[in-house]
Structure 1
C-alpha cells in the first residue's frame, strides 16, 4: 500500500516536513511495511521556502536586511537543489510581523529588504527566483524593492524622495540606468493568488491598506500616490502597471515587479506542486494525506489541500484523498463535492491554544493512526 503525504505547515505548530513525519509515525503503527512518500507543501505564503528547500534537497540561508520600518531584521531565503533557483518569501523581510498596533504605518513602510534579498540571490548567480508575496506590511508599489536593486526615485529637483507609499506624490522621475546588471537575465516567478489591480476600489490601498494600519484618509492618499507612480512608470519605463492583474498584491509589490523585473505570476500551490514533482510521486498511490491548520469552504480557493487533491485526482481518480486540520471551519461539506474522500480534525479535547500548538505532532500521529485502522478494517471486510 502506498501513501503520499503532502501537507502544508500548521502555523506556529509544525513545519510541513514535521507534519509528514508525524503522519508517517501514525500510519506505520497500522501499516508498518507501507510505501510512504513525503512531499512537504505550501501555497506561496509562509512555509514556501522551507517546503521547496526540503522537496529539492536545497539549503536555507540567512542575512540581515532592512525591515519595513527601516530597522535591520534577520531574513531567510532558500537555494533549491539545482543551485541556480532561489526562493524568497517577501514577508521574511517586509512582513506584517515586524510592525504592531502602534508602529504600523503604510505611508512609510518599505519593501527595500525584499529587494536586498533579490540582490543577494542575483549576486549568487541565481537565474530564477520564486517569490512569494503574501503577508506584507507595505504599500509602496514595490518602489523600495526597486530602490535596493539600483533604481532611483527622484523629485523635481533631482533628489531621492523618502521611502514609503506616502511620498510617491513627490516622484518626478525614475532612473533605472544603475539597476543590477544581472536582473535582466533572471526570471522571477511570483507566487500569488491575488488578482487585485494596483488602484481603485479593488486596489492595493483600498482592499489591503486598512489591515496594515491605513485610515480612510491614508487609503485615499496611498491610492492617489500609486496612480501617480504608475503614470511615471509608464512614461519613464514604458510598462503599464495600473491595470495589471495581481499588481495590487503585497501593497503593489506585484506592480513593482512587473515594472522593474522580468517576471510572471503563478498560483503558489501550482509552483510548489511543480517543483516538488508531486504528480510523479503520486503515481501508484492508494492514499494521499494532506492538511493544514484550518480547513473550511475557502480551502478551494487556492489553498494547499485543495491543490493537492486536484493533483491527485488528475494522476488517478481512484486515489483516496484524506485531509486533516487543527480546525474545521464552515461549509467543509462543499469540499467533499470537489473530490475529498474524508476530512478530520485532530484536536482530541477542549484545551488552550498554547497546549494545542505544543501537542500538534502527537495529535496528527494519533489521528492518522485512527484513520488507518479504519482503512485496515474496511479492507478486511469488517
Structure 2
C-alpha cells in the first residue's frame, strides 16, 4: 500500500495550507482509495502557522476581539497549548494584508495594534512562551502599534502622546517605556520568520516590502526617512541599535522593535514548524510527498516550504512533487533540492482573479491527474515485472 505525505504551504490569496491539504487528499483517495495518507499542512511563520502547529499538537484556538490594520473591530484567532502555557500568534491574523479589501491599503494609517492585543490576551492567560509568526502584515509602523497595546507610549514634538501612529513615524520625538507590561520580561519570545532583511536601506522594510503594503514609488523616500528617524530614537531609548540586525525589517519593521525592547529568539519559520511537528520522523516509510504553494520559481530556494520539504525528503530519498499556482524562472534548479517535478494547477487560459477564486477546485483536479499518471506508471511497472 502506498503511503503519501501531504504537506503544502498556503496558496496565498486562494486557500490555506489546510484547505490545500484537504483538496489533495480528496483527489488521492478518489483515484487510489487504498492509499495511506498523512496530512501535515505547513507554514513559514506567516498565514497558516497556527493551523500547522495545532494540527500536530494538543491545543485550542482562542478567539479575541481586536482591531484590524485600519482600527476596525474584528475577531482574530491565536493558538493556545495550555499544558505548556504557549501561545502561537500570527501577525497576519490581526494586522495582515488579507484583512483589507482591494483599494484599502493605507500605509500611513495601518497599525499593528491588533497583534499587540493578541499578545496581551495571551499574557493574561499566563503565557510563558509566545511563538510569534511574522509574515503578511499590512503595516510599515515598525511595530509601534503592537507595542502601544503592550504599554509603550510615543510622544510628538509638542510632547503630546500619539494615539494612532501608523506609518507616520516621523511624528515621534520620544518614547516612554515605563508602562510596558512587566510580565513581558519573563516570557520567552520565539519569532518565526523567513525574512532576514534589515530595517533600513535598499534591502530594508520600506524598499523591499513597502510597495506591497501600498507605499507608492514617490513615497518611498519619505517613509524611509521616517523609519530612519524613528530607529535613532528607539536606539537611544533602549541603549542599543538593532536596525542592521537580520530580521529587523520583517513585518514592516516589527522585527526591529521586538529586537530593541525584548529579548527574542528569531528562528526560520519553516525549520521551527518542522521541528515542532517532528516532521522528519513522520516521513519514515513514505513513498511520496506532495507539497506546493501559490508560486514556485528560483526564489523558492530562499526559505520557501516546498524546497524545505524537498531538502528534508532528500535525506530519506523520498520523491517529492510540488503543485504550483504559477511557475516562474529558475524552477529547473529545484530538482537538485529534492523536488522531482512541479505540477501547475491552472488547466487553461484564465485571469488571476479567476484562478484565485477557483484554487481548491484547480488543485483537486491537478492532483487527480497526477494520481492517474502514478496508476499508469504502477501498471506498467507491474507488467514489466510480470
Scaled by the length of structure 1, the TM-score of the pair is: 0.89
Match of 2:359 in 1: 357
Per-residue displacement from partner, 1:70-117 (whole Å, max 9, x unpaired)?
222332212247552222221221123444565433223211111111
Q: Can you give the 5+ residue segments of structure 2 that lack an aligned partner in the other structure?
A: none
Per-residue displacement from partner, 1:238-278 (whole Å, max 9, x unpaired)?
23122111111222111011122221222221122112211
Match of 1:332 in 2: 331
Scaled by the length of structure 2, the TM-score of the pair is: 0.88
Residue 29 of structure 1 contacts residue 369 of structure 1 at CA under 8 Å; is this kept in 2? no
- How large is the RMSD of aligned CA atoms in angstroms? 2.6
CA distance in 2, matches of 1:50, 1:282: 19
1:36 aligns with 2:22: no
CA distance in 1, matches of 2:7, 2:91: 24
Match of 1:19 in 2: 20
Deviates more, 1:368-377 or 1:269-278: 368-377
Match of 2:137 in 1: 136
Match of 1:9 in 2: 10
CA distance in 2, matches of 1:169, 1:17: 41
Q: Can you give the 5+ residue segments of structure 1 that lack an aligned partner in the other structure?
A: none
| 1:45-60 alignment runs, 5 A limit | 45-60=46-61
| 1:202-281 alignment runs, 5 A limit | 202-216=203-217, 218-281=219-282
Match of 1:367 among 366, 369, 381: 369
Aligned residues: 380
Per-residue displacement from partner, 1:50-86 (whole Å, max 9, x unpaired)?
2222222422222221222222233221224755222
1:194 aligns with 2:195: yes
CA distance in 2, matches of 1:227, 1:330: 35
Deviation of the 1:224 alpha carbon = 2.1
Deviation of the 1:343 alpha carbon = 2.3
Match of 2:294 in 1: 293
CA distance in 2, matches of 1:135, 1:123: 26
CA distance in 2, matches of 1:294, 1:200: 27
Residue 95 of structure 2 contacts residue 137 of structure 2 at CA under 8 Å; is this kept in 1? yes
CA distance in 2, matches of 1:323, 1:235: 47
Match of 2:341 in 1: 342
CA distance in 2, matches of 1:26, 1:343: 17
Indicate how the Cα distance of structure 1 residues 374 and 305 shifts in structure 2: closer, same or farther if over 3 A, else same: farther
| 1:83-232 alignment runs, 5 A limit | 83-99=84-100, 102-155=103-156, 158-164=159-165, 167-216=168-217, 218-232=219-233
1:70 aligns with 2:99: no
Deviates more, 1:297-306 or 1:100-109: 100-109
Residue 44 of structure 1 contacts residue 269 of structure 1 at CA under 8 Å; is this kept in 2? yes
